Structure 1
Amino acid sequence: MPDVDDKWRNRLHYGVIEPEVAQWYGYRPPADLLAPAAVHKVVDAMRRRDAQLPQDASESAERCRQQANDQLTRNATAGFAKPNSLKSSTYDAAQRNPEVVDGFRRWSACMKEHGRLYRSPVEAGDDSRWSARAEGSRPSDGERQTAQDDVMCKEKTNLVAVWFRAEKRLEQKAIEANASYFAKLKAANNQYLRNSREIIRGP
């Protein structure tokens, strides 16, 4: 099994892209590969501790968390629906970019050479033979081999680099078109950091 470290980030945004991940996990890596191990360690410890608390203590802990959140976000509120919406729209738009469409065509031709009939990596990842597989269950040899061919064809056609550049251009345009919103978001983030520092310093 490959080592888990924090250099592997944002997995699966362009489908499986790492030979080791494809070989071991196919198209559905476990959750601890999708975020830094340190994050999972903290979250798991919190959940174990909360599960051991009696109901009144658990309710008290939840109130404390809410108070802490109120202090951290004081004068630092900003909606995050817009970035999520923009990210989704630019991701979809990138797949319609002519360079990406051509990249999909070349990737599909490469996959066909290996007996895999998919129009795009998205379609390959959504194949019901593995998309419905229970999380944490072992992938079939067919899934792992298909994922490895997928990665190999991405590398052969330079698809991820082409896809990334197209999406980056679209994201930059979206940021420029929503400059006022992102300025407010930056200001809110700076206020959040100031609140955090004040809490750490204490009274």
Structure 2
Amino acid sequence: MVKKADPRDPATWTLPVESYMPTASQAQTITRARAKAIAKCVNEAGFPQWTPPPALPPLGGKTLTDWRYGIHDKKLAGRRGYHPDAAEQKAYNTAMEVGAVDRTGTDDGVKRRCASLAEAKVPTAQLLGSYAETLGNNAFRKATASPQVKEVFAKWSSCMKAKGYSYKEPMDANDDPRFNDPDTVTRREIATALADIECRDTYNVAKVWFDAEAAQQRPAIAQHKQRLDSDRNATSQAVADSRAVLATR
């Protein structure tokens, strides 16, 4: 069920370009079908012991807009600063380790061939949404350079300076190299993150940024609507093909 948009929660907001990108449910269906098609092909090639690597669990942002404009969850920041939830990070690391090396002895050439055959049946969800994602990313960059966003960044920066932190833009704090160690969360990081969120909330930074990006996306969508509509139709077809693959033995 789609969460109702909450003006205080960026994770619930929806950008215009998202209507042309595969939904989480569609992407999951496509991924499952591709994994089944590859496994069947590899099995038939004489390697029944092979299994697809585990799907990576969510880490950090749960939607396109969650964390797109930086952190916003005070409770999480109070525990983890700019880092993802500890349990999520552990689950993600475990899945990465499991899928990093294939220990079944399956021939690499067979796996590549089977992946190529699966691609012919069902393209990846990432590929289906790549054009819309590119338009969105271009709009994000333009929005970040827009006067209204630059103005709210300056207010945020002044707010942070009054609290003892010197950063020009919100993502400068988020990307501070002192907070890059994935296994370490310092008291300094937590204090910075909490100050960051307080200043963001004071000047409604995320909403101003989101609104500016949405305004940049709308004309881009109108200009490229034919291509976007074609990609959305391709996604619908890929989901239908995926369901057919999943329905077979």
Q: TM-score, normalised by structure 1?
A: 0.76
Please say which of residues 174-183 and 4-13 is displaced more in the overlay: 4-13
Paired residue for 2:11? none
Structure-to-structure mapping, 1:16-165, within 5 angstroms: 16-29=71-84, 33=88, 47=99, 51-56=102-107, 60-73=110-123, 81-130=130-179, 133-135=180-182, 137-165=183-211
Say if 2:63 is the partner of 1:9.
yes
CA contact (8 A) 2:128 2:234 kept: no
Write the distance in 2 (CA, Å) between the matches of 1:145 and 1:108: 16
Write the distance in 2 (CA, Å) between the matches of 1:31 and 1:181: 40
**Runs of 5+ in structure 1 lacking a partner?**
none
CA contact (8 A) 2:60 2:85 kept: no
Say if 2:244 is the partner of 1:202.
no
Write the distance in 1 (CA, Å) between the matches of 2:128 and 2:63: 24
CA contact (8 A) 1:175 1:182 kept: yes
CA contact (8 A) 1:24 1:144 kept: yes
Q: Which amino acid aligns with 1:51?
A: D
Q: TM-score, normalised by structure 2?
A: 0.63
TM-aligned CA deviation for residue 8 of structure 1: 4.3
CA contact (8 A) 1:25 1:144 kept: yes
TM-aligned CA deviation for residue 126 of structure 1: 2.4
CA contact (8 A) 1:105 1:119 kept: yes
Write the distance in 2 (CA, Å) between the matches of 1:79 and 1:43: 25
Q: For 1:116-157, what per-residue CA distance to the aligned partner results, in whole angstroms no more than 9, with x for missing partners?
A: 121210222222322xx332x112211111011101111111
Backbone CA RMSD of aligned residues: 3.5
Paired residue for 2:17? none
TM-aligned CA deviation for residue 198 of structure 1: 2.1
TM-aligned CA deviation for residue 25 of structure 1: 2.1
**Runs of 5+ in structure 2 lacking a partner?**
1-57
TM-aligned CA deviation for residue 61 of structure 1: 4.6
Q: Which amino acid aligns with 1:180?
A: Q
Write the distance in 1 (CA, Å) between the matches of 2:88 and 2:215: 28
Matched residue SS, 1:51? coil
CA contact (8 A) 1:116 1:146 kept: yes
